[in-house]
Structure 1
Amino acid sequence: MQRFAADPVLGDWHGLLAEIAAQWARRDELRARLAAHPDARFARGPLADHIRARDRYCCGPGCTRSARSADLDHTHEHSRGGKTVEANIGPGCRRHHRDKDRGWTLTQPEPGLFRWVSPLGRVYLTRGEPIRPDLPDLDPGPGPHPGEESDVQAERRLRRYDRKILDGPGADPLRPPPPRAGPAPHDEPPPF
C-alpha cells in the first residue's frame, strides 16, 4: 500500500491512501481489540461498531431494519456460555431477537453468516449487504469482442444464406382493403 501513497498520478489521494496503509498495517492489533472483552455481557466499543458496519441490517430472514436500531444479540446465548466476540454477535431487531424464544434456532457458521431454522424445519441463510457493491467489469471498448463477429462479418454471413431478406423492399407491401360489409339479411338463420 505504501508504494501507492507516493504515486504522483493519484493527486490529492495521498493522505487517504497513507491512512488506509497505516490501518492495514495495524489490522492484527485492531482485530484483537474486537475480542478484547469476550466475557462481557454486552457488545460495546469497536466490536459493536464492527458488527453494525459488517451486517448493516437485522440478521433476521427478509428483515430490512437498520443494525443501528437493532439489539446486538448473542447467537449462542451469553447466559449459556456464549462469548462476546465477532463470531457470536449479530444485529437482531426486536421481533427477530424474540424469535429465538419462539422455537427458531440461530447459528453463525462463520462471522456474519446467519443460519436460521424455523420451528417447521425450514432453513434460511442471511448475510449482511456489502458496504459497496462489486465493481462492474471493465468496458470492452469499441469493436467486436474476442470470438464475436463484427457487423460487416454478420452482414456477409447473412447475405450468403438469404439475399432476398437483406435486399427486399424497405417497407411492408400494401395490404388488400378489408371486405365491404353489406346489409345483413335478417331472415337467414345464423351460421352456427
Structure 2
Amino acid sequence: MPAAQRADARRNYARILAVAEEEVAAHGADASLEQIARTAGVGSATVRRHFPTRAALLEAVFRERIEALAARARELAGAEDVRAALLEWLGALTAYSTSVQGMATAMLRNGDLAPEHANPCVDPLAEAGDPLLRRAMRAGAVRPGVTATDLVTLIAGIALATEHHPDPAAEADRLLGLVVAGICPPG
C-alpha cells in the first residue's frame, strides 16, 4: 500500500496547493493555514507536512510566476540595450507584484524568516536579475552599489505601498519611474 500512500500524498499536495493559491489570492500572504486545510479537506498536520513553514507554502504558490519572471530576466540578459532590458524586467516584476495579492509580502523578509536565511521568493528573482543588473552597471546605466536584491525589495515596497490605491498599477508605474530616476543615471 505504500504506492497508494504516495499517490494520496501527491493528491493532497495538489489539492492543498490549489486551495492555497485561491486563499492567498483572496487574503494575501497571511491567508489562514487552518482555513486552507479545512477547504482542502485535510488536517493542519498534513498541510504542515507538505509545507513546514508559511514561506514554503508561499514559495509553492508563487513558484510558477517566479520561474517565468526569472526566465524573462535570462532572455533579456543578452539584449543590446541593457538599460531598456533591465527596465522591461523591472516593469514586468512590478506589474505582477501589484496584480497578485500576497506576492509583495512574500518578497519581503519578515518575522517568519531570519535575515540570514534565503528568501524563497526573492532569491530566485535576484539571482536571475543579477546578470541583467551587472551588464547595466558595466554599461554605466545603473549606479554602482545597487544589488539585484535591492531592486526586488524596492519592487516589493512599491507593490505594498500601492495595494490600496484606487489604481495600483498606474501608481506602481509612477513610483517605479521615481526609483529608476534614482538608480539609473540619465541616458
Please give the TM-score of this superposition, normalised by the length of structure 1: 0.25
Higher relative contact order (CA 8 A, sep 6+): 2
For normalisation by structure 2, the TM-score amounts to: 0.26
* Structure with greater helix percent: 2
State the structure with more CA Rg. 1
